[in-house]
Structure formats: structure tokens, C-alpha cells
Amino acid sequence: MNTFFHSNLPTSMKFTMLPLKQAVLSPTSQPMAATASIPLMPPNANVFGKTWVTAAARLGSPSVRINIAASKGANAKPDPALVAEGLRPIADHAASQNVVVHLENDNPVSEDPFFIVSVIDRVKSPWLHALPDFGNSLAALPAEDAYRGLDQMFAHAYAISHVKETITTRSNAVAHVDLARSFSLAAKHGYKGNFSMEFDSEGDPYAGTAKLIAATIKNLS
């Protein structure tokens, strides 16, 4: 089973790596995927991003997730061309370290799924891929747009995807993830990477994670 370094996760069962059609449930194991937050302006992005790529390589992690920090200012909008300019040398450095860089649909502004895909398309590096999160985009987008974004993310995915059943929207409503639809998008694009379990719902995280794993195995069978 691959290990991923994640710098800001507590030790728990919240994340359990799941290779395709193989579940692993362990309350003591912590999967890892490196996380760094980079500004949208180079060269700071280059230096900071490369630092985390190097850290991932030293830890023996095959990949690193880099956050794209939101632009400062009330009316500031992320620029895909500028972000791509900052990420291109990071992807080149990642290639030299044998580390894949992932971008997750997380922040609804700077990490919108369509924005991430546009950045990846601009960089055009086999070392830069999408990290599809099943639920994050449902917190900010209409359901159809969220699944369309997830579809495009899986078209650029490689090694890891976050599975979750619920997400809380900005209006504090709970949105439920259509797991069957989400897994069908992964299958549509021939995704062969890992699935991590991200239990964000109410209730016992151990039982909830076990249930999520069972649902994942069912959808992969």
C-alpha cells in the first residue's frame, strides 16, 4: 500500500488509504500526503512548493498535495496562467525528485475544480495531477456543476482521491454525496489510483469509516 504524507492531519481513522478494490482498515496507521499552501504569485510559490516536494522525497512519499492559496483582496480572482507559471517549475522539480504533485478541489475560489483543470492543462506536465475530492465541490457549487467538475478532475487524476459521504455547505446545510455516481466517474476515466476514506459526518468515526469502506468496496466490485 502506498504511503502519502499529509502535514496537517491528526492521527485517526479519518483517512485510510484504499488501493483499487482493496480495503485497509487500521486505527493506528496514518496515510500521508504532503500539503503545502502556496501563494498565487511566483517566485515565492516556486521556493515554498519545491521545499515541500523535497520534503516528500526525503520521507519516501510518492506524492505531495499543494494547496493554491486564495488571492488577497475582496475582488481578487485567481489567474490560471499565473498559477500555471508558478507551478511549472515545481512540477519540473517534482520530476527530478520522482514525486507527483496533486491539486485538490478544496478552496471554492482558488481550488474550484474547473480552475484546477485549467491550470493542469496549461502546465502540461505528467508530474502534475488532480486530486478529486468526492464532496468538496458540493459545498460551493450546484450539484450538477459539482459532478461535472468531479468528472473533469478524474480525467486528470493519477494516484489519490478522497471519498466522503457528506459535506457541509456555506449555508450550514448538509449535502449528501452520490457515491455510485462518483465512483462511476472514476471508472469512466480508468482511474487506477488510491481512494482515501474521509469521514466528516456526525457519529462514531470508527464505525463511520468502516461503513464508508464497505460502501467503497461495493461500488468497486
The 10s digit of each residue's pLDDT in 61-104 is 999 999 888 777 666 778 899 899 999 999 999 999 999 999 99
**3 state DSSP class of 67:** strand
Can you give the pLDDT at residue 48? 84
Q: Which of 54, 190, 200 is nearest to 138 (CA)?
A: 200
Can you give the pLDDT at residue 151? 98
Tell me the average confidence (pLDDT) per consecutive run of 10 residues in the chain, 221 residues long: 34 33 32 47 70 94 90 74 92 96 92 96 98 96 97 97 93 94 98 93 91 96 91
Cα radius of gyration rounded to whole Å, the chain: 16
CA distances from 185 to 11, 52, 53, 148, 153 (A): 30, 30, 29, 9, 9
Can you give the pLDDT at residue 9? 29
Question: Domains of the chain by range and CATH?
Answer: 17-220 (3.20.20.150)
Can you give the pLDDT at residue 202? 84
Give a three-class secondary structure readout of 19-57: ECCCCCCCCCCCCCCEEEEECCCCCHHHHHHHHHHHHHH
Can you give the pLDDT at residue 130? 98
Can you give the pLDDT at residue 154? 98
Q: What is the pTM of this model?
A: 0.81
Can you give the pLDDT at residue 200? 83
Can you give the pLDDT at residue 35? 52
